[in-house]
Amino acid sequence: MHKNIYKLILMLLAAIQPTAWASANWRVNIATLQNGSIVSSHTTASSGQQVTLTVVPNEYCHLKAGSLVVENTTSEEGDHPTFASRRAPAVGSFVSLSQTGTNTYSFEMPDNDVIVSALFFEEGGIIVDVETEVETPGQSNILSIDIEPDYDTFTATINVVEQKSGNMVPCKVRLPQSVTDAAGNVFEVTTVAAYAFFGQTNITDIYLPETTEPMNIEARAFLLDNETGENHHVPIIHTPITLLDDYALMEIFSENYVASKMMGIVTTQHNYRTLACGVDVKVPDNITVYTIHAKDNSQVVLNALGTGITIKANNGVILASSIDGRHTYEVTAIPSDDRPSGMTPPTDNAQTYPNNLLIPVVSERHFYAQRNYYILKNNKFYPISMEDADKCCPACRAILHIPY
């Protein structure tokens, strides 16, 4: 009799105060997985408790980006007290998940059971098909690029470039800046392996991607044919202007450099752009080169050096075009005795042009609120003020310094 009364009281308390069950432990279920496993710090946990998940891929396998999820599930009848006022969400609603380490994640246990699932995949090479640029109307080429991803650093190496379709007509190819595998992981292309382009004798131009640092170019990476013979083919290498001197002075590009087949791509928003490079560069015939001189210590004036000229290394100049708006053109690295292959680009001011007030910035340089320094923007020079303590000038630019 007393036993039945006690049971009845418990049932009434549960009906009146459903939150009394809030401390009940809820289950952390792990779905059936392939190519890996997930270890939970808890098999059961109370609402609000932190649960840590450790991802354990099998050898040569990896977690698919964004595939790890924690789903709410309703409990089976009889497992836990369940009332309409606190019924768990249906399967398909997700619990917020935070990454706490390389292979660890955590979540706050909800007021119901959960199921954890993920997708793992076996690593392998990435094949990228690149359509080349051809000059012959009606013809096209497709190159197949075999790329090896590194899942520890999320970088990638171009291993082999092969002709996939089309005729072996002269063509230009642009290397990818990044690649994505089947699982959605993104890799920055940082290396071109030795002999990657061997046999691709129809390639005339190779465009290197826009990167912060120069790519690692292994020996003979861009060797298209045999190194000897009168028909030995040296492609034109196109680089971002900020890295032109780095690439031009690499031993790997000595042939291209000596043959004046190293070109830097200049992108500008307006008519005027400052320039400074660690090697001599020749500008197109439609570009005018200026220095800036002081006049009577009261004003500055532009001094035209000419059009289509060669600018000496480590000098600040202004390039002027007739186009106002975003456009691009290219400058060509010109070899010189004082800038041989294999040297590190110097960063000093060569001061080749007398009385020039433009200071070269070969590598990114910070100006900690120095007086009388000006940066070109929107065709006008703006002073670096005291508020611009962290202002910096990017590589391959120049700043104006007025000493008075």
Partners of 148 in the β-ladder = 157
Clarify whether residues 198 and 307 are in a common domain.
Answer: no
Containing 69, the helix (H) or strand (E) segment is: strand 69-73
Q: Where are the alpha helices (DSSP H) in 135-223?
A: none
Count CB neighbours of 267 within 10 A. Answer: 12
Question: pLDDT at residue 388 above 70?
Answer: no
Question: pLDDT at residue 163 above 80?
Answer: yes
Where is the domain boundary, 122, 151, 184? 122
Clarify whether residues 401 and 269 are in a common domain.
Answer: yes
Clarify whether residues 94 and 174 are in a common domain.
Answer: no
Tell me if residue 294 falls in helix, strand or coil: strand
Residues whose CB falls within 8 Å of the CB of residue 253, separated by 6 or more in sequence, listed in order: 217, 222, 237, 247, 262, 341
204-255 confidence digits (pLDDT tens) = 999 999 998 999 999 999 999 988 777 789 999 999 999 999 999 999 999 9
Residue 5 within any structural domain of the chain: no
Residue 297, pLDDT score: 67
Clarify whether residues 274 and 333 are in a common domain.
Answer: yes
Clarify whether residues 130 and 155 are in a common domain.
Answer: yes
292-313 confidence digits (pLDDT tens) = 998 776 678 999 999 999 999 9
Lowest mean pLDDT among 70-74, 101-105, 172-176, 293-297: 293-297
| DSSP for residue 367 | -
Clarify whether residues 288 and 390 are in a common domain.
Answer: yes
Domain of residue 40 covers 21-122
Residue 56 within any structural domain of the chain: yes
Q: Determine contact, residues 182/149, Cβ cutoff 8 Å.
A: no
Dihedral sign of CA atoms 202, 207, 209, 213 in order? positive
Residue 401 within any structural domain of the chain: yes
Residue 10, pLDDT score: 46
Residue 254 within any structural domain of the chain: no
Partners of 299 in the β-ladder = 295
| DSSP for residue 9 | H
Size of the chain in residues: 404
Residue 391: which pLDDT band, with cuts at 50, 70 and 90?
low
342-367 confidence digits (pLDDT tens) = 888 888 899 999 999 999 988 777 66
332, 336, 342, 348: CA torsion to nearest 10: -90
Clarify whether residues 53 and 95 are in a common domain.
Answer: yes
Question: pLDDT at residue 261 above 50?
Answer: yes
Counting the structural domains of the chain, the total is 3
Clarify whether residues 285 and 400 are in a common domain.
Answer: yes
d(CA 239, CA 246): 10
Clarify whether residues 35 and 82 are in a common domain.
Answer: yes
d(CA 42, CA 240): 52
Question: pLDDT at residue 374 above 90?
Answer: no
Interior angle at CA 159, CA 67 and CA 123, nearest 5? 25
Clarify whether residues 103 and 158 are in a common domain.
Answer: no
Question: pLDDT at residue 16 above 60?
Answer: no
Residues whose CB falls within 8 Å of the CB of residue 281, separated by 6 or more in sequence, listed in order: 244, 264, 275, 310, 311, 313, 331, 332, 333, 334
Residue 255 within any structural domain of the chain: no
Residue 11 within any structural domain of the chain: no
Residue 227, pLDDT score: 83
Where is the domain boundary, 74, 89, 122? 122
Where is the domain boundary, 101, 122, 143? 122
Residue 186 within any structural domain of the chain: yes
Return the closest-CA partner of residue 233 out of 248, 251, 252, 255. 255
| DSSP for residue 258 | H
Interior angle at CA 344, CA 159 and CA 213, nearest 5? 45
Clarify whether residues 109 and 144 are in a common domain.
Answer: no
Clarify whether residues 111 and 221 are in a common domain.
Answer: no
CATH of the domain at 196: 3.80.10
Question: pLDDT at residue 91 above 60?
Answer: no
Residue 3 within any structural domain of the chain: no
Tell me if residue 251 falls in helix, strand or coil: helix
Question: pLDDT at residue 15 above 80?
Answer: no
